[in-house]
Structure 1
Amino acid sequence: MQRSVRLKSFELVARDINDVDVDLLHALSISVRWPHRPKDWELLRRVGRGIVAVDGIGRVFGSAMWFPQGDDFATIGLVITTPRAQAQGGGRWLMDQVLEQCGARNLALNATHAAYPLYVSLGFTSEAIVNMRQEVAPQTLPPLPPLDGELSELPSDRLSEITALDARAFGSDRSRVLALLSANASISVLSRGGKVVGYSMRREFGRGFVIGPVVARNDYDAVHLTAVHLKKLAGRFTRVDTRERDGVFAEFLQQTGLDIAETVTTMSKGRRFLNREDNGPWVYGLAGHALS
């Protein structure tokens, strides 16, 4: 694989993302108006692997990351290029590097409108639309449906109690990813008959907080697993990424004032990513666009 590329008047070289100052990565995400703070970049570098495109004097013109989730699956994210590099094929060159590193793994990503044609040309297939809902959390929540079960907090050292449930909903074992996310997260679980049937996380991200993952068996459970965090975030900027556009859960988020600010497209390459079981657990809220 070509480790450098000449784009008209300048040459870019691929470097490991861990070898680049995080402030340069932060500046890159700011340039495309993405909300990632230096702390968010640091976490994602611990979770995954990636490359950056730099010129001869160390300026960063692009990034691309991938996140192993189980033995044969990975998600791709943080694919960012400056307008100058994008216009000259920098995005495709970065993706070629990442696809080579991923090898034979099945892949999934969430494509922005601008990047969608590139991913189609690389063989990715559309599966669903992700709605990025965000706003300041309300002081008072709308009426909630009856709670079926018991809600409680889960310490991060008991994460093993939710990993099997998550793997069934997500489709791959992402226990390592969850462990890294949970280090600075609050986790709530929903139990029925002494068995955990759903969970949700709340952590700082970007402009405020993100609620996700949210894993539940139905809309009503997902509402309660989200509401338990929203109650503690009143007056704070909050984000929930969900593929649910209609139904009780989507209506609840709309009633809280978390409007759809943007949409992206979930795409896969290899095996199909989203496979919902009847009456089985489902990912109602994403961990993040890069982690899905």
Structure 2
Amino acid sequence: MRANLTKVLDSYELTLTDMLPEDVPRLYELSIAVNWPHRPKDWEMAINLGRGYVARDEIGRVLGSAMWFPMGETLASIGMVITSPRLQDHGAGRWLMQHVLADTRARSKVLNATKAAYRLYLSLGFSSRTSVFQHNGIASKVPDGPDHARPMLADHAQAIVALDALAYGADRRALFERLFPVSEGTVILQDGIVCGFALCREFGRGRVIGPVVAKTEQDAIALIRPHVIAHKDQFLRMDTRAEGGLLRRFLDEAGIAFYDTVTTMTLGEVPHGGSVTTYGLANQAFG
């Protein structure tokens, strides 16, 4: 039986419980309190894909959350770690993370750390790997760019899952089973074989473009440009590890401007990608 399911922080006695679908309304309130953009539907997808905990006070308010998502058999992506602003300096995040780390002790771990949580994750043994640059805004312009991508077909699904595994370093089939029904997709074909793809779906304040996997930045631009065309004058977001260059310049010119940076951190033997690159994340929780 799991120990340490209650904790007194500041003037609150918190109780830890498993995260359930009926927690979505209160989790949505929690994310609003810290200015995260997640809609109830985004929380529902996360709960369907992962496992998590909520911290409740004596009257049932949700004051903290933490989740982990299995990525294949040996890797876990950790995300949706939120604590109420009034508890952020009282150890609530560490308490929640200790339970997530206990659950995932047999797996290597990856997460994307906000500036506020970076020191906590360092103290828990995580190491920095790379930066993720969040771009978002109203897509007010469609910059010139390559146009060799085409719409994704249902027949491309298995090849996309395999290509993502090559780029990510783990099989994320379960994630794509949730993403495909709610996404529009583009692909690049070489001799009839999928060698790049981009998905776009509703998320947060508008839509997110990701995952995006390609061989080159030019291919990545070709893949995302049709989504910018389709959703011009709407709010678009893309989280990318590209440090600069053509892709980020394209996003800026489209009005999808740089907004913030988080740090990808790892614990354990987390694989690096292969011969293709993940240019756009599904979101910061899923990677």
Aligned letter for 1:270? G
Q: Give, in angstroms, the shift of residue 246 of structure 1.
A: 1.4
Alignment of 1:291 with 2:286, yes or no, is yes
Aligned letter for 2:251? L
Tell me if the contact between 2:188 and 2:197 (Cα under 8 Å) persists in the aligned partners: yes
Greater alpha carbon shift after TM alignment, 253-262 vs 62-71: 253-262
Specify which of 208, 212, 219 is matched with residue 221 of structure 1: 219
Structure 1 runs (4+) deviating above 6 angstroms are none
Query: Which structure 2 segments of 5+ residues have no match?
Result: none
Alignment of 1:100-249 (within 5 A): 100-138=102-140, 140-145=141-146, 147=147, 150-155=149-154, 158-249=156-247
Give the Cα–Cα distance (whole angstroms) in 2 for the partners of residues 20 and 171 of structure 1: 33
Q: Give, in angstroms, the shift of residue 174 of structure 1.
A: 0.3
Aligned letter for 1:154? L
Q: TM-score, normalised by structure 2?
A: 0.96
Tell me if the contact between 2:143 and 2:253 (Cα under 8 Å) persists in the aligned partners: yes
Give the Cα–Cα distance (whole angstroms) in 2 for the partners of residues 160 and 79 of structure 1: 31
Q: Give, in angstroms, the shift of residue 23 of structure 1.
A: 0.9
Q: Give, in angstroms, the shift of residue 131 of structure 1.
A: 0.7
What is aligned with 2:254?
A: 256
Query: Which structure 1 segments of 5+ residues have no match?
Result: none
Q: Give, in angstroms, the shift of residue 272 of structure 1.
A: 3.6
What is aligned with 1:96?
A: 98
Q: TM-score, normalised by structure 1?
A: 0.94
What is aligned with 2:80?
A: 78
Aligned letter for 2:162? A
Aligned letter for 2:143? P
Q: Give, in angstroms, the shift of residue 184 of structure 1.
A: 0.8
Tell me if the contact between 1:159 and 1:179 (Cα under 8 Å) persists in the aligned partners: no
Give the Cα–Cα distance (whole angstroms) in 2 for the partners of residues 45 and 163 of structure 1: 21
Alignment of 1:40 with 2:29, yes or no, is no
Go from structure 1 to structure 2 and tell me whether the alpha carbon gap of 1:276 and 1:166 turns closer, same or farther (over 3 Å shift): closer
Go from structure 1 to structure 2 and tell me whether the alpha carbon gap of 1:219 and 1:19 turns closer, same or farther (over 3 Å shift): closer
Aligned residues: 285
Aligned letter for 1:291? F
Alignment of 1:4-43 (within 5 A): 4-18=6-20, 20-43=22-45
Alignment of 1:271-286 (within 5 A): 271-273=269-271, 275-277=272-274, 280-286=275-281
Give the Cα–Cα distance (whole angstroms) in 1 for the partners of residues 249 and 107 of structure 2: 36
Give the Cα–Cα distance (whole angstroms) in 2 for the partners of residues 143 and 230 of structure 1: 11
Give the Cα–Cα distance (whole angstroms) in 2 for the partners of residues 165 and 62 of structure 1: 35
SS state at 2:122 partner: helix
SS state at 1:126 partner: strand
SS state at 1:173 partner: coil
Give the Cα–Cα distance (whole angstroms) in 1 for the partners of residues 252 and 22 of structure 2: 40
Go from structure 1 to structure 2 and tell me whether the alpha carbon gap of 1:162 and 1:54 turns closer, same or farther (over 3 Å shift): same
Aligned letter for 2:151? S
Go from structure 1 to structure 2 and tell me whether the alpha carbon gap of 1:209 and 1:47 turns closer, same or farther (over 3 Å shift): same
Give the Cα–Cα distance (whole angstroms) in 2 for the partners of residues 154 and 250 of structure 1: 27
Specify which of 46, 66, 69 is matched with residue 67 of structure 1: 69
Percent identity reads 45
Alignment of 1:2 with 2:1, yes or no, is no
Structure 1, residues 163-210: CA drift from partner, whole Å, max 9, x if none?
A: 111100011000111111122111111101111101110100011000
SS state at 1:21 partner: helix
Specify which of 50, 53, 67 is matched with residue 52 of structure 2: 50
Alignment of 1:266 with 2:264, yes or no, is yes
Q: Give, in angstroms, the shift of residue 154 of structure 1.
A: 2.2
